[in-house]
Structure 1
Amino acid sequence: MELHVWGTPSEISLLSPQSIAIYWYMSLCVPSELYEVVTSCNTDLSLSGQLPTLICHGEGTQYDGLLDILRYLDQQGFSLDTGLLKEQRAINEGLVLYVEDKFQLITDYCLFLNKSNYEQYTRSLYSKYLPFPMQYNAPIVARSRAKLNCERIGLKVEDKSQVTEEMMKNVPSVSKIHRMKYESMIEDKLLMKNSVTNMSCLRQLNEYVGRVLELQAELNANHEGDTLGLFGENRLTSGDLIILAHIYVWTRAALPDQFIKTFLDKSYPHISTQLEHLLQERINPATDHVQIRLPSFTESPNLFNSIKHLVI
């Protein structure tokens, strides 16, 4: 089996919490000799146009997206959810769907709509993963998709062109000096608007994380102390790993704007502590045994393969 994801052999990309989650998941429940991870960053390999995708050459089949891959692995007997009672499975499956919807909204905002993170981090990632000229169009497409998704809950950002039009529509023709002054004012207004939208994002985040933690508290009523495990600290489920993957993305030091990490550390201090503990004790030791390789030419996102994909 080949698991195709966003990233490089040294790091699965923050662009895709789904790639991170399934990478962790398979490392914990699938023998490492049965599969390899390919950091192809090639969405053309996926029928849905999204990574991750799992290709099973022996069967001539493939499974696109996190949920389809989880279902296939479960059918093959590779599952972290084995042993869950019927009611627990239903709760876990519901949580997976909830997190994939709600937490993805926060991830989209954090990576693509937050001005500092997008301009200083996210956009430049594509030059690491894609060749010229594909590296320029891909972040624009991804940002447009993220904007549409976030608009569902009222998280909207204004681009510089929109703010410029708003500020300049009643201003007569000005000198170069005055225009430079207005440029500075426009940047200040963009930063102010970004701060306001950050607060809206945090309100939504607080609601979503709060609901998940309430559910975890109910299911772990007899457990002392905080845990990020849905059914106890000694068990990790598919739902747990999807939650952890999104939180992992939000709290990485590589992001220039640490507004989510700052909020979580203040409001839910146990989250970062538990995440780092699970990474060190459970997840990293498992991923150390996973085979990861670069894509071959036919697996790579290059113009030749892209044209071939369109023709075929």
Structure 2
Amino acid sequence: MMNIYTWGNGKEISPFDIESIILSQLINDIDDIKIIPNSNYFISNSQKLPCLITNDEQITGLINIWNYLSPNDNNDSTERLLFDSLLHSIIKNFNIITTYNYFVNTTNYESFTRPAFKNYLPWPFQYLPPLQIRENGIENCMNLGIIDGENDGNSTLDDEEKHLVETPVINDLQKNQIDNNLQLINKKKSIIANLNCIKLLKSTIDNFNQLKEKLSTSNSEFLSLIINSYLQNNIIDELSDNFIKITLERDYPEYLNTKSLPKSYNPSHLTFSNAFKSFISSFI
């Protein structure tokens, strides 16, 4: 028996842990693997989830767990290489988008994500993980130019913000005016960051749409379902700033369906390894 530990409340996987949601759909009917959505990040040496625990090692992240469980047939065909490249690109980009949406976007973080951790971890452990994920997310988003990127208009806003913060306050009226202007600047920054996140989302979807015809039908459908899993869990109603849903409604309505990944199977005459590999092999 192998266990995969994920973010969750003990019964359900957290909506922001989409890697684990995808894994749970892939291995739904396999008895030899158990999904444990109890947010036990302490068990992971890297303190990252999802984390697959075997008898002698730990594997974290969807791609690494995928590579561990799926067959290594050394298939270096053009389509296999394209499939692998698209899969890695889709997961990498959508992980950034998801982290921005749930943790870096201040509105969603303050109204949903941070309060939700009280359902995932007991006091006082509920406070540190969202802060750590947010800090890492901010760093990654800065590296990609989603926030504080070059030529995104934020430098002017930063100058305005600095000027307001350094302005001496004479009375309450002036303080209220400064506070209102600072709030307006933060809203403008948020809009710019949302737009940069949307650019990454669009480029990821458009790149797949341009290349999917070079894939077999099963491979194309599989990647479409991976994308759909990420999108569906990034537009939940609980998110106050649902800018991704607005984008899909306008530009990609075909992804507003509720299709999920196909369920795996485990025929009784196959061992776990062969059953899982047979399932995965049907897509690659």
Distance in 2 between the 1:166 and 1:249 partners? 39
| TM-score, structure 1 normalization | 0.72
Q: Does the CA contact (< 8 Å) of 2:96 and 2:140 recur in 1?
A: yes
| TM-score, structure 2 normalization | 0.79
- The answer to whether structure 1 residue 263 and structure 2 residue 247 are counterparts is yes
Gap regions ≥5 residues in structure 2: 149-153, 266-284
Q: Does the CA contact (< 8 Å) of 1:25 and 1:241 recur in 2?
A: no
Q: Which stretch of the first structure deviates more once superposed, 143-152 or 16-25? A: 16-25
Distance in 1 between the 2:12 and 2:91 partners? 22
**Cα shift readout 1:173-210 (whole Å, capped 9, x = no counterpart):** 32123313322222122112211221222122211211
- The answer to whether structure 1 residue 43 and structure 2 residue 41 are counterparts is yes
Distance in 1 between the 2:162 and 2:128 partners? 25
Specify the alignment match of 2:165 in structure 1. Answer: 168
**Cα shift readout 1:187-237 (whole Å, capped 9, x = no counterpart):** 1221122112212221222112110121224436xx7xxxxx6434xxx3x
Specify the alignment match of 1:196 in structure 2. Answer: 192
Distance in 1 between the 2:104 and 2:64 partners? 28
Counterpart pick for 1:213 among 202, 209, 213:
209
Give the counterpart letter for 1:204 in structure 2: L
Distance in 2 between the 1:54 and 1:254 partners? 29
Q: 1:7/1:241 Cα in 2 relative to 1: closer, same or farther (>3 Å)? A: farther
Specify the alignment match of 1:231 in structure 2. Answer: 220
Give the counterpart letter for 1:231 in structure 2: S
User: What are the equivalent positions in structure 2 for 1:1-312 lying under 5 Å apart?
Assistant: 1-27=2-28, 31-56=29-54, 59-75=55-71, 86-156=77-147, 165-169=162-166, 171-219=167-215, 230-232=219-221, 236=222, 239-240=223-224, 242-273=226-257, 276-278=258-260, 282=262
Q: 1:162/1:100 Cα in 2 relative to 1: closer, same or farther (>3 Å)? A: farther
Distance in 2 between the 1:168 and 1:62 partners? 47
Root-mean-square deviation (CA), in Å?
Answer: 2.8
Give the structure, 1 or 2, with the largest relative contact order (CA under 8 Å, sep 6 or more). 1
Distance in 2 between the 1:95 and 1:46 partners? 28
Distance in 2 between the 1:166 and 1:135 partners? 36
Distance in 1 between the 2:96 and 2:64 partners? 20
Indicate the SS of the match to 1:70: helix
Distance in 1 between the 2:161 and 2:42 partners? 37
Q: Does the CA contact (< 8 Å) of 1:111 and 1:118 recur in 2?
A: yes
Distance in 1 between the 2:41 and 2:163 partners? 37
Give the counterpart letter for 1:32 in structure 2: I
Give the counterpart letter for 1:139 in structure 2: P
